[in-house]
């Protein structure tokens, strides 16, 4: 049985959250949706989240606060900033702070699907790529012959 990829959607805007969830429900993913950073932290603490979709602002903080937590709790997770205000300065700042990508609202299904595919492909590549430690072990084994 295939393990479902776990995604986190943090959105305080009902329309944006609903639109994204409608797109994601067509894919083999397990989605956790929250409206606050506090609830997002609770999910991040107990789930293996691979991909995060986040708006800019919440009642209890901004994506900047959340991005710091994600980097500490799930550094391998991809963070997608959803620009609902249309402020491109946020886009530039978000990318500078470590956002993996940016989507503009209203969301376009093909853009979301592209990011799902790209994230899965990058994860597969990183999981199959040999680590430096593995290469050193192989060199040591070759030298012992």
The helix/strand/coil state of 101 is strand
Domain count, the chain: 1
Residue identified by tokens 């995060």 is 52
Q: Which domain holds residue 37?
A: 5-143
pLDDT given for residue 65 in this prediction: 94
**Mean pLDDT across the chain, nearest whole number?**
87
Which alpha helices (DSSP H) does 25-108 contain, by range?
37-46, 63-73, 88-97
How do residues 38-56 score in pLDDT, each as one tens digit?
999 999 999 999 999 999 9
Termini Cα distance of the chain: 41
Beta bridge partner(s), residue 8: 32, 52
Residue 24's CATH number: 3.40.50.2300
The helix/strand/coil state of 140 is helix
């Amino acid at each position: 049985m295939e393990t479902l990829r776990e995604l986190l959607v943090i959105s305080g805007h009902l329309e944006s959250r609903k639109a994204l969830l409608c797109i994601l429900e067509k894919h083999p993913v397990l989605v956790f949706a929250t409206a606050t950073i506090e609830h997002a932290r609770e999910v991040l603490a107990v789930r293996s989240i691979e991909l995060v979709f986040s708006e800019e602002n919440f009642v209890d903080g901004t994506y900047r606060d959340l991005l710091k937590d994600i980097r500490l709790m799930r550094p391998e997770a991809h963070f997608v900033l959803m620009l609902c205000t249309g402020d491109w300065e946020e886009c530039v700042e978000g990318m500078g702070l470590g956002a993996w990508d940016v989507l503009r609202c209203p969301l376009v299904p093909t853009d979301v699907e592209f990011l799902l595919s790209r994230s899965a492909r990058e994860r597969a590549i990183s999981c199959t790529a040999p680590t430096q430690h593995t290469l050193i072990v192989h060199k040591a084994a070759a030298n012992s012959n």
